[in-house]
């Protein structure tokens, strides 16, 4: 029996709060995780978890043991990466399973083609991607990386800006012919608005944030559906540049109140805080940043 037996399983259960989620993270069975933790407790002659049918929580001994195990696991991973770099260079480190998540529409259109290209370049890399508009807990659910859009909330995660994100207020010429163009922020209240996932629109008013709560008879949590409704002349929309770039350039949409366009937000790569980030995560972030920069940006 190795001195490492049960350590990875223990850390995974502690970080996810569940034997089943730990098994998913480690790609083993729940019974394997349970047996490994039980054997570790026998070796330590200490109980590490309180277990109920609904909850798993650390004992005092478990909390003290966890911090040390996490440091040991990171040092072990660092050692493997260092040896790999000496033997095969940086590309040889880009291997294993990269688990990541991203918003559905943005992921389908922009992220996945680049991630597929990354996997093609690195034959030892495997990819698992969850496209969802829910904000997943990276640590609890065992994800290496998330691509998130807009302003980030306070978090213990590390965030790296990988692309700009410019918001545009737009409408179809057919709508403007019927209802006229808004000539100020205060005139927005008299227009039909197409709302998506957010209950407010952000604008810049002489350097200050100006929040507007759009009202109308249409709402959907899909950016592409908002775009389609705007193209049909149903009302005003506020969407990121990657939705409206081509329709504006082609004259199918008109960009409005550009002087009040909000300050650029961003596309972020977000990942759990570690002393050393795995090579696969560094490679993915670098590749996404380079690939997104190559796209022509609408201004």
Q: Give the tens place of pLDDT for each residue, 61-114.
A: 888 898 788 777 766 655 654 554 444 445 667 889 999 999 988 899 899 999
279-293 and 112-121 are packed helices; what angle lies between their axes, rounded to 10 degrees? 130
247 and 192 housed in the same domain? yes
Cα–Cα dist 120/125, whole Å? 9
d(Cα 128, Cα 19) in Å, to the nearest integer? 20
CATH number at residue 67: 1.10.10.10
pLDDT of residue 85: 45
Does 82 fall in a domain?
no
The answer to whether the predicted template modeling score (pTM) of the entire model surpasses 0.75 is no
Q: State how many domains the chain has.
A: 3
Distance in angstroms (rounded) separating the CA atoms of residues 29 and 32: 5
Q: What is the DSSP string of 185-225?
A: GGGGGGS-BEE-S-S-EEEEETTEEEEE----SEE-S-HHH
Residue 114's domain comprises: 88-163+265-298
In the chain, beta strands by DSSP E: 49-51, 56-58, 96-102, 125-131, 145-149, 158-165, 167-171, 194-195, 201-205, 208-212, 218-219, 237-240, 254-256, 265-271
Closest CA to 170 of 239, 269, 89, 83: 239
- Give a yes or no: residue 22 inside a domain: yes
Percentage of the residues of the chain whose pLDDT score is greater than 70:
87
Q: Let me know whether 109 and 65 are in one domain.
A: no
Reported as a single tens digit per residue, the pLDDT across 121-178 is: 999 999 999 999 888 989 888 899 999 988 776 566 788 888 888 899 999 999 999 9
What CATH number is attached to the domain comprising 271? 3.40.190.10
Q: What is the pLDDT of residues 215-226, one digit of tens each?
A: 999 999 888 899
């Amino acid at each position: 029996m190795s001195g490492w037996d049960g350590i990875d399983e223990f850390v995974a259960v502690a970080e996810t709060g569940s034997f089943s989620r730990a098994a998913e993270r480690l790609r083993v069975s729940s019974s394997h995780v349970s047996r490994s933790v039980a054997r570790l407790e026998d070796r330590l002659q200490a109980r590490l978890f309180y277990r109920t049918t609904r909850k798993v929580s650390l004992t005092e001994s478990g909390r003290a043991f966890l911090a040390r195990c996490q440091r040991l696991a990171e040092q072990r991973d660092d050692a493997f990466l260092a040896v790999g770099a000496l033997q095969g260079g940086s590309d040889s480190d880009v291997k294993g399973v990269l688990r990541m998540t991203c918003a559905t529409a943005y992921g389908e259109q922009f992220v996945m083609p680049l991630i597929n290209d990354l996997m093609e370049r690195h034959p030892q890399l495997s990819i698992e991607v969850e496209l969802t508009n829910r904000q997943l807990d990276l640590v609890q659910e065992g994800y290496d990386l998330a691509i998130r859009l807009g302003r980030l909330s306070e978090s213990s995660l590390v965030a790296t800006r990988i692309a700009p994100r410019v918001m545009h207020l737009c409408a179809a010429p057919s709508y403007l012919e019927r209802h006229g163009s808004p000539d100020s922020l205060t005139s927005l209240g008299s227009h039909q608005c197409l709302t998506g996932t957010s209950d407010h629109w952000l604008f810049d008013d002489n350097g200050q944030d100006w929040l507007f709560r759009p009202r109308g008879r249409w709402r959907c949590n899909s950016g592409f559906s908002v775009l389609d409704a705007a193209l049909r002349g149903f009302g005003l929309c506020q969407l990121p540049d990657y939705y409206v770039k081509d329709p504006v350039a082609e004259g199918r949409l008109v960009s409005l109140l550009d002087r009040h366009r909000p300050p650029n937000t961003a596309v972020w790569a977000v990942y759990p805080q570690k002393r050393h980030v795995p090579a696969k995560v560094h490679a993915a972030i670098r590749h996404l940043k380079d690939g997104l920069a190559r796209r022509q940006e609408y201004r």
